[in-house]
Structure 1
Amino acid sequence: MSAPSAPTAPEAQPGARPGKWWPLAAICLGNFMLLIDVTIVVTALPSMARDLDAGFSDLQWVMDLYALALAALVMVAGTAGDLLGRRRVYVLGLAAFALASLISGLAPNVGVLIAARAVQGAAAAAMLATNTPLLAAAYAGRDRAFAFGIWGAVSGAASALGVLLGGVLTDYLDWRWIFYVNLPVCAVALLITLRTVTESRGSASRIDWPGTVTFTLSAAALTYGLIVGGEDGWGDGGAVTAFAVSAVALVLFLLVERRTGEPLLDLRLLRRPSFAALMGAAVVLTGAAFAHYTYTMLWLQSVQGLSPIEAGLAVAPMALTSFVFAGAGGRFLHRLPAWVAVSSGLALIGVGLLTQTAIDAGSDWKVLLPGLIVTGLGVGVAIPVLVAAALAAAPPERAGMASGAVNTFRQLGFALGVAVLGTIFSGRVRDVLTGAGLSPSAANAISGGAPFGSDPGLVQEAYASALERVYLTAGFAALAAAVLVAAVARRPARTPATAPAPSPAPVH
């Protein structure tokens, strides 16, 4: 694809001008940036912890609030785009993302960083919810198929490059540059969007604010309860209160969605066993395949002594394998029933994670390599057809909502995965260290990657034992989800190729 010489005025028809690919460039830039900002942070977590004196739960929130805000707001952002204009919402998302990135880079303490990450996630939701409708409005026919193909490839590249780019920037500049790098990208995307992308709207007539508030509150309270309970004990007052608030908010969400004329999520979709099983698969897929990155990185850098770029290279085979296989095998995969690909991919993810349980106190990074490759194959098999499977399980008139629900449940799975696996990881590290005579405060600090003093062998044992449990839990969850999809989602489906395939990116 050759680049046009200059952006063309938005009034021109995009399918018939030399500069017709500028809208694609603008949308792909935004999509690449919002996806890469999930994995780019992982490599920098130990450096952030040292510079900002952040604890283990702080690192969880740095990861979780971005995914949580994205999960909670992507559906309402889609409705806002229908009402206010998709280009307008996309532009506002780009501007807010740039501002939040600047604040993240300048953050003087971890509290400011966590708050800025939440704003980043909300801005990413506005971008994610509007980028595919903008593409569909800008292109038709063969141009549309080509545009969605490029969009998917760029999204897959974000998955493969995020961890590596985070390592390069952290190693050669500073962890703050993982946020500063967004500023010029946002500026270019904004300029091209304003000059070349035409406005479009949908058919929504109002935003379901009660549904949005109750869903967000339920998800946030559940995540908070998991993180606090894992650190302070499940009987802690804060954890118990958070779980109670989450349950009440979930009940209110269900009541609201049953009574409203234009719900955030039509609950009748979840009465379809195939659709409900696929939403569960979306949660487990991202939670199992990607959430463990946070704790694997702590082991690679804090225990194995790898630099950020070396740690990024150590886990890159998973993302690279998924990207290459999804691209090379896409034509074959779309000949299969979508549920077969989703179930098979989850099974491969489960096997890959269980393979990684070979880790022990004497292991180095190479022990993870076989499991990462198998997991990457599973991701490359499952994710490109996950949306297509959900669309096949939903009525045609709910296709947009079904697609948005997949994005929501995938992001929610990542946020909950970080919290659940973090609870398992930190709890096991503390048990091993306190059992050997260390104080609880020292054990807490070491679980977050703090310097561990004169007994590296003990810390290696603690981290290896904790990661073994993390991989075991995630692996069995993926296998259970594979069985669920195979048992429940087996039904005649519309041809999945009618919907553009999403990328092999972890978040989307």
Structure 2
Amino acid sequence: MGMASNIALIALATGQFLVGLDLSVMSVALPSIQKEFGVGMAQMEWAMMAYMVAGAALAVPAGALGDRTGRRRLYLIGTSIFVVGSAISALSPDMAVLIVGRAIQGVGSGFMGTLALAMLTSAVAHDQIAKLIGLWTAVTSGASAFGPIIGGAMVQFLGWRWMFGINVFLMAAVIPLVLREVPRDIPDGSEKRRVDWLGSSLLTVAMILVAGGLSMLETYKYYEPIVYVPVAAGFAVLLIMVLQQRHSLIKLTNWASIKVAPIPATLTISVLLSMVLAGAMMQQMLLVQNVLGFTPMMAGISSFGASLMLVVFSPISPRIMGRIGLGPTTCIGLGTVAIGLFGLHLTTTTTGLFQIIFWFAVMGVGIGVGMPAVSAGAMMAIPREQMGTIAGFMALISSISAVLGIAVISAISAVRVTSVWLVEGAQISGFESLTDEVVSGAIPEILKSNGQEAATAAGLAYTVGVTTALMIAAVGVAIAAIVAFFLLGSRGKTSKSAEHPLAPEPEKP
């Protein structure tokens, strides 16, 4: 591609920043949206998940189509769709329209997120990919890091609709820059691959069914058909997809490349991190605003420690990996994330702002160290001509994981909140009718309608539910850190004899 201009990198990074921003700011805006539209946890989950599901549905096709028809062309189509979805979201009169707008945004983001990384990584020398990904992670992850504080400021001073409206104006500047500064790529014959629409559709349907069933745990028990039937159907569709992939001439991705070490391990780690971070952020933002009483701006500031540490440590990650290897680097990153999650799980109804900031900062260090190493471990193990397709598959897995993370962590929290509320709220008149509101974290509304006693009990129940989910997440990440240390080994450790940083470890005589 010949990325000669720094302006091109800035333009692509700005577009990716907005894609990430519209995911991360939503968690801060949810309490305000909940108050305006009067919706429960399931609808709030889908306001988050619609964006991810739509992006996931197109992640792999976008990569393959980009390889086949031209990445810049398809990227520009994606940006236009993203702008349309942003406008619909900004003007939505109710939650249903907002969810539709978010889904359209997600379609655009599916093209943008996949193709930007593919355009960049295919434009540099193979041994420079790790450094580029470190820089790219620092810039683009700033969206998820700084998103809450930017979103908090907009929600508090301008209103939540401006979170989406701002995209229309900023993308109007990005599109001309991409047209001018990013050279048009002309794919060669080896890149002209057909797209597995069926496999991608089956995987997306499976994700929607599983996430949809889990989201019903806000209102229903796990043994009720409305919960387990969609989940079971989702796993059945997933099995069908596996069988389809075995017999189809057109594959969802190059499974042979996916099996090459260390890609299976890095994908597994990416799944876990995406699940934990998406689910934890949503629940934590609801907790600090609806229970601890933080304003949207304060809620955004509470994650600023993660913002700062993420930006600082992402560029350093490749150097750490070069010194000690992929396994130890990933272990340090995941272990630090686990410590941060454990600290957040100590949150009570009286926890202050600075304690939240500190533990988010600890998480930010871990993400900044671990995530670039994991991404580089996958991208550097594949041939250049397959980077678009593999990047699309990685984006798909990341989106699926985030959707499932929101659903799973919300489900764990909902079950625990309900059990605690049935005890703490037993002395309150009509407490059972308030269960749905308690599970959705609508504590301010309970305070207005039922008084301080009910709100205090509801806040305690919600806090226990969220912190229990965070503790479970911390344990899972800690186990993954230990496994990563032994499974990934010293790949990536700088060696004069290595062809590139992730060359296979030499066999011992």
TM bin (shorter chain) = 0.7 to 0.9
269-278 vs 283-292, greater mean Cα deviation? 269-278
Distance in 2 of aligned mates of 1:14 and 1:486: 35
1:471 corresponds to which residue?
470
Distance in 2 of aligned mates of 1:153 and 1:198: 24
1:54 corresponds to which residue?
39
Distance in 2 of aligned mates of 1:183 and 1:55: 29
139-148 vs 48-57, greater mean Cα deviation? 139-148
2:226 matches 1:253:
no
Unmatched tracts of structure 1, length 5 or more: 1-9, 501-508
Is the 2:222–2:228 contact (alpha carbons within 8 Å) kept by the matching residues of 1? yes
2:448 matches 1:449:
no
Is the 1:362–1:460 contact (alpha carbons within 8 Å) kept by the matching residues of 2? no
Question: Where does 1:187-202 land on structure 2 (aligned, <5 Å)?
Answer: 187-202=172-187
Letter in 2 for 1:477: G
Distance in 1 of aligned mates of 2:195 and 2:177: 28
Distance in 2 of aligned mates of 1:172 and 1:430: 34
Aligned to 2:315, the other structure's residue is in SS state helix
CA displacement 1:52-82 (0-9 Å, x = unmatched)? 1121111111112212222332111111112
Is the 2:151–2:300 contact (alpha carbons within 8 Å) kept by the matching residues of 1? yes
Match of 1:127 among 96, 107, 112: 112
Question: Where does 1:254-293 land on structure 2 (aligned, <5 Å)?
Answer: 254-269=242-257, 271=259, 274-293=262-281
Match of 1:421 among 381, 405, 409: 409
2:436 matches 1:411:
no
1:503 corresponds to which residue?
none
Question: Where does 1:73-112 land on structure 2 (aligned, <5 Å)?
Answer: 73-112=58-97
Aligned to 1:327, the other structure's residue is in SS state coil
2:142 corresponds to which residue?
157
**CA 1:329–1:412 in structure 2 vs 1: closer, same or farther (change >3 Å)?**
same
**CA 1:448–1:351 in structure 2 vs 1: closer, same or farther (change >3 Å)?**
same
Is the 1:137–1:200 contact (alpha carbons within 8 Å) kept by the matching residues of 2? no
103-112 vs 355-364, greater mean Cα deviation? 355-364
Distance in 2 of aligned mates of 1:247 and 1:322: 35
Aligned to 1:334, the other structure's residue is in SS state helix
2:50 corresponds to which residue?
65
CA displacement 1:433-474 (0-9 Å, x = unmatched)? 233235334121133232122223212311221122011111
Distance in 2 of aligned mates of 1:143 and 1:162: 28
Letter in 2 for 1:440: E
Is the 1:287–1:474 contact (alpha carbons within 8 Å) kept by the matching residues of 2? no
2:506 corresponds to which residue?
none
Q: TM-score by structure 2 length?
A: 0.87
Give the drift of 1:272: 5.3
Letter in 1 for 2:291: V
CA displacement 1:155-188 (0-9 Å, x = unmatched)? 1332332011100100101000000010011111
285-294 vs 120-129, greater mean Cα deviation? 285-294
Is the 1:35–1:155 contact (alpha carbons within 8 Å) kept by the matching residues of 2? yes
**CA 1:428–1:189 in structure 2 vs 1: closer, same or farther (change >3 Å)?**
same
Is the 2:218–2:436 contact (alpha carbons within 8 Å) kept by the matching residues of 1? no
Distance in 2 of aligned mates of 1:385 and 1:137: 18
Is the 2:59–2:395 contact (alpha carbons within 8 Å) kept by the matching residues of 1? yes
CA displacement 1:101-137 (0-9 Å, x = unmatched)? 0101111111111121112112101011211333356
Letter in 2 for 1:289: L
Give the drift of 1:404: 3.4
Distance in 2 of aligned mates of 1:458 and 1:174: 30
Letter in 2 for 1:89: L
1:319 corresponds to which residue?
307
**CA 1:37–1:174 in structure 2 vs 1: closer, same or farther (change >3 Å)?**
same
486-495 vs 334-343, greater mean Cα deviation? 486-495
**CA 1:412–1:195 in structure 2 vs 1: closer, same or farther (change >3 Å)?**
same
Give the drift of 1:149: 6.8
312-321 vs 167-176, greater mean Cα deviation? 312-321
Runs (4+) of structure 1 exceeding 6 A deviation are 137-149, 494-497
Letter in 2 for 1:157: G
Is the 1:73–1:122 contact (alpha carbons within 8 Å) kept by the matching residues of 2? yes
**CA 1:392–1:488 in structure 2 vs 1: closer, same or farther (change >3 Å)?**
farther
2:353 matches 1:358:
no
Distance in 1 of aligned mates of 2:358 and 2:10: 36
Distance in 2 of aligned mates of 1:143 and 1:224: 41
**CA 1:195–1:370 in structure 2 vs 1: closer, same or farther (change >3 Å)?**
closer
**CA 1:494–1:84 in structure 2 vs 1: closer, same or farther (change >3 Å)?**
farther
Q: TM-score by structure 1 length?
A: 0.87
Is the 1:42–1:163 contact (alpha carbons within 8 Å) kept by the matching residues of 2? yes
CA displacement 1:256-312 (0-9 Å, x = unmatched)? 222334412233455557432322211111222342111111111111211100111
Distance in 1 of aligned mates of 2:117 and 2:466: 37
Is the 1:80–1:207 contact (alpha carbons within 8 Å) kept by the matching residues of 2? yes
RMSD across aligned C-alpha pairs, in angstroms?
2.9
Distance in 1 of aligned mates of 2:271 and 2:130: 28
Distance in 2 of aligned mates of 1:218 and 1:233: 21
**CA 1:483–1:45 in structure 2 vs 1: closer, same or farther (change >3 Å)?**
same
Aligned to 1:165, the other structure's residue is in SS state helix
Give the drift of 1:22: 3.5
Distance in 2 of aligned mates of 1:260 and 1:408: 20
% identity of equivalent residues: 26
Distance in 2 of aligned mates of 1:198 and 1:144: 20
Aligned to 2:303, the other structure's residue is in SS state helix
Is the 1:231–1:423 contact (alpha carbons within 8 Å) kept by the matching residues of 2? no
Distance in 1 of aligned mates of 2:196 and 2:127: 36
Distance in 1 of aligned mates of 2:431 and 2:25: 33
Letter in 1 for 2:53: L
Letter in 2 for 1:32: F
Is the 2:13–2:136 contact (alpha carbons within 8 Å) kept by the matching residues of 1? yes
Letter in 2 for 1:445: E
1:461 corresponds to which residue?
460
CA displacement 1:350-385 (0-9 Å, x = unmatched)? 122112222234333344344322211110111111
